[in-house]
Amino acid sequence: MKRMLAVLLILGAVLSLTGCGASSSAAPQPIQTAAEETISPTEALAAEPDSPAPEEAAEAPVEEDGASNGILVVYFSRTGEQYNVGVIDHGNTAVVAEAIIEATGADVFEILPADDYYPVTYKELTDVAMQEQRENARPAIAGELPDLSRYETVFIGAPVWWGDWPMILYTFFENTGCSGAKLVPFSTHEGSGLSGFDRSLAAAYPECEVLTGLAIRGSDAQNNPDGVKTRVHDWLTGLGY
């Protein structure tokens, strides 16, 4: 009996040593740190706010060289109540000037008074025009006057006031020089025709050649602008433009 008990004790000790020496078959899992986490390319760009954005193709700048074809149109025109056409919002002389500009591609300078005291009613306007003639007035012109030496041809137009240029045109003549340019007068009227505009230009600019001018009735400018364009075209063709 004692012998059997001894055998059982020995067997228990062997089994106990075997259990302590056994290793686990589950492999240990590594711990993933924040530094090892992966992010998408989009998230990477968002995480770098100082990264330069892709450059966009720049549009080529538009260059304006201010080139001129050597022709200038200078004109003075009035709106308001005008003889034989009533109240107008687009001046008679402006209509003719624009037809010349359209046909030639000319530069343009509109003579505007620095102090526009001219009445809008016809009778009062004629009174002011008469008074300016009597005083040989030189009304001031707004803005900087053009350099006529840049041009080969200068068309100059205005309404006929008491058989002559409006006095503001003499302000223009006396403060510009044409340096040999060809000068071409045009007028709007209701019976006065060109009214010596060509002779006045020749006197104001003796060093320049004055070409044949054109006279257009104000009523035609208002009531038959297409006919005015035809007349302007034929006139310019005769001058070689």
Q: Has residue 57 got a pLDDT over 90?
A: no
Q: How remote is the C-alpha of 140 from its chain's centroid?
A: 27
User: H or E segment at 214?
Assistant: strand 214-217
70: its two tokens: 């050597």
Residue 67 has a pLDDT of 59
Identify the CA nearest to 150 among candidates 94, 85, 221, 66: 66
Residue 42 has a pLDDT of 32
- Could you give the CA distance from residue 121 to residue 78 in angstroms, rounded to a whole number? 11
Say if CB 183 and CB 214 are below 8 A apart: no
pTM value is 0.73
Higher-pLDDT residue of 141 and 8 is: 141
Residue 32 has a pLDDT of 36
Residue in the structure block whose two tokens are 């006396």? 174
- Could you give the CA distance from residue 33 to residue 77 in angstroms, rounded to a whole number? 86
In percent, how much of the chain has pLDDT > 90? 70
Confidence of residue 179 (pLDDT cuts 50, 70, 90): confident
| DSSP letter string, 67-96 | ---SEEEEE----EEETTTEEESS-HHHHH
| DSSP letter string, 94-113 | HHHHHHHHHHH--EEEE--B
| DSSP letter string, 140-176 | -BSSPPP-GGG-SEEEEEEE-BTTB--HHHHHHHHT-
- Could you give the CA distance from residue 142 to residue 139 in angstroms, rounded to a whole number? 10
In percent, how much of the chain has pLDDT > 70? 72
Domains and CATH numbers, the chain: 71-239 (3.40.50.360)
Say if CB 222 and CB 89 are below 8 A apart: no
Higher-pLDDT residue of 36 and 179 is: 179
Q: Which sign, positive or negative, has the C-alpha torsion 221, 223, 224, 226?
A: positive
DSSP 26: S
Residue range 214-240, pLDDT digits in tens: 999 999 999 999 999 999 999 999 999
User: H or E segment at 199?
Assistant: helix 197-204
Residue 65: count other Cβ atoms within 10 Å of its Cβ: 5
Residue range 5-55, pLDDT digits in tens: 444 444 444 334 344 343 333 333 333 333 333 333 333 333 333 333 333
Count of alpha carbons within 13 Å of 145, Cβ hemisphere only? Answer: 17
Average pLDDT over residues 204-208: 95
Higher-pLDDT residue of 229 and 67 is: 229
Q: Has residue 181 got a pLDDT over 90?
A: yes
Residue range 69-86, pLDDT digits in tens: 899 999 999 999 999 999
